[in-house]
Structure 1
């Protein structure tokens, strides 16, 4: 099939890719999974103790986010807006802010994620699962993690944390950095940037803790992710969009985590779908 596609004329290949992208984007939007991050915001407001339990990390996130965004705003906003004016016209000031948000997110990944963000987000994820009636899943998952270090499955998932920007491995960083110029494409560039990175770098990383608690193997996790790729694209795009909000973008990592936990609790409540899919994969 791929050889036939390669033999097709370039315009035909581009047309087919555009159709695939359109279908995937439609499935992502119609899945309504992009609502989960916003439900996370609402749940955090109505359950303030969830965020209050990680207040030090929250404050550090706010301070670090503000400092980096302000520095980029002072030194890079005008040059980038000048270029964008030539390409996008009157929307240049808005697109320049989005671009600075994307750049600050890249810098924050190096500074905040390994220092204090991931453990705090994992704590929030577990607390949100418990608040949604999944206490047993958390308890049994922690027992499995604590006692499963010698098994191959335990080694595979034993170090998993909630990881926004999961794809920011060295290759992921390169992909993200190379996708930044998409923002310079008139009219549709920023939308392509958000959808691309929502698909490639974001979505599934928010459920790494859930997969860990379930004790799923790498193959089982990948099978579930592939069968729900449009939903993860929608979720990832929405979380990235919130993370790009000036000054407070990193704070949305906490509410995005809550949204991911609410989604996981919903999956778990629907007859343990992930477990069923994992068992099916085993029995094939």
Structure 2
């Protein structure tokens, strides 16, 4: 019984830390910052066509093969609103799969560029210079246009285990409201630290030191990841929000740098 109480207390503290961190606001800040900085647009513009094709290639089969069984289950659970709920469910599931596949195979280089360009736009040239060459400012060079050749090895692009885990949690969405919230938090907890993979790479922090800093920011990463996941579940807009959340993660990294945090709480 004491172990259960300890675990409940731990979850309560984690929830308080997540709320107090305020990091759930960074994905929202990322939207406005991205829209207000056209110099950050190129990575998204160059991926619109392949991402659109991927969206259609996932969403159409999902409706063909998964809508009817899920509509039947939701009709049994929720009554006449089941078929309508199933449409929203299939759309959210499709969006989840599209986002995961896009980040794994289409967007990794683009997201790295966007993260670095945001740092540069916020005056963090010295940090970005640890991972790539930078072009001199001026002559219309802003944001992405200041980025040169990478001098660090590319980030890992795909984790089969992560993808399987991602799919394993999808059935939680069959449970109205509570299931969706649980899905968002579970995925946010896993995905949150991933938004700062490039940051830790630029800082040359890895191993035990990286794990320690992630642990110390755990509540913040859960809050950030959950907010980013919620945005990504919006049908047909997930790719856009994947980019803007990346911008938000970079803005958070900028604030960490400005505070000079070595062992931060959020």
TM-score bracket, normalised by the shorter chain, equals: 0.7 to 0.9
Question: In the aligned structure 2, how far is the partner of 1:49 from the partner of 1:117?
Answer: 18
2:200 pairs with 1:199: no
Instruction: Output one character per residue of 1:192-243: Cα deviation in whole Å (capped at 9) or x when no partner.
Output: 111011112x101111111111111222211110001010001111111111
Instruction: Output one character per residue of 1:128-157: Cα deviation in whole Å (capped at 9) or x when no partner.
Output: 0011111121113337x83xx8xxxxxxxx
Contact 1:182–1:193 at 8 Å: present in 2 too? yes
Question: In the aligned structure 1, how far is the partner of 2:91 from the partner of 2:3?
Answer: 33
Identify the residue that residue 101 of structure 1 maps to in structure 2: 92
Question: In the aligned structure 1, how far is the partner of 2:50 from the partner of 2:240?
Answer: 10
Q: TM-score normalised to the size of structure 1? A: 0.76
Secondary structure in structure 1 of the residue aligned to 2:235? coil
Secondary structure in structure 2 of the residue aligned to 1:140? coil
Written as runs of structure 1 = structure 2, the 5 A alignment for 1:170-185 is 170-185=160-175
Contact 1:125–1:257 at 8 Å: present in 2 too? yes
Instruction: State which of 25, 39, 44 in structure 2 corresponds to 1:49.
Output: 39
Question: In the aligned structure 1, how far is the partner of 2:225 from the partner of 2:71?
Answer: 26
Contact 1:95–1:190 at 8 Å: present in 2 too? no
2:121 pairs with 1:126: no
Instruction: State which of 247, 254, 277 in structure 1 corresponds to 2:236.
Output: 247
Structure 2: runs of 5 or more not aligned = 134-149
Instruction: State which of 228, 238, 246 in structure 1 corresponds to 2:217.
Output: 228
- Decide which structure has greater helix share: 1
Change (3 A) 1:13 1:90: farther
Identify the residue that residue 144 of structure 2 maps to in structure 1: none
Instruction: Output one character per residue of 1:1-44: Cα deviation in whole Å (capped at 9) or x when no partner.
Output: xxxxxxx4xxx765654443343233212322111111111011
Secondary structure in structure 2 of the residue aligned to 1:247? coil
Residue 189 (structure 1) shift: 0.9
Question: In the aligned structure 2, how far is the partner of 1:94 from the partner of 1:51?
Answer: 35
Secondary structure in structure 2 of the residue aligned to 1:216? coil
RMSD: 2.7
Question: In the aligned structure 1, how far is the partner of 2:99 from the partner of 2:177?
Answer: 27
Written as runs of structure 1 = structure 2, the 5 A alignment for 1:52-91 is 52-88=42-78
Contact 2:119–2:128 at 8 Å: present in 1 too? yes
Deviates more, 1:225-234 or 1:98-107: 98-107
Contact 1:28–1:234 at 8 Å: present in 2 too? yes
Question: In the aligned structure 1, how far is the partner of 2:11 from the partner of 2:174?
Answer: 20
Contact 1:66–1:247 at 8 Å: present in 2 too? no
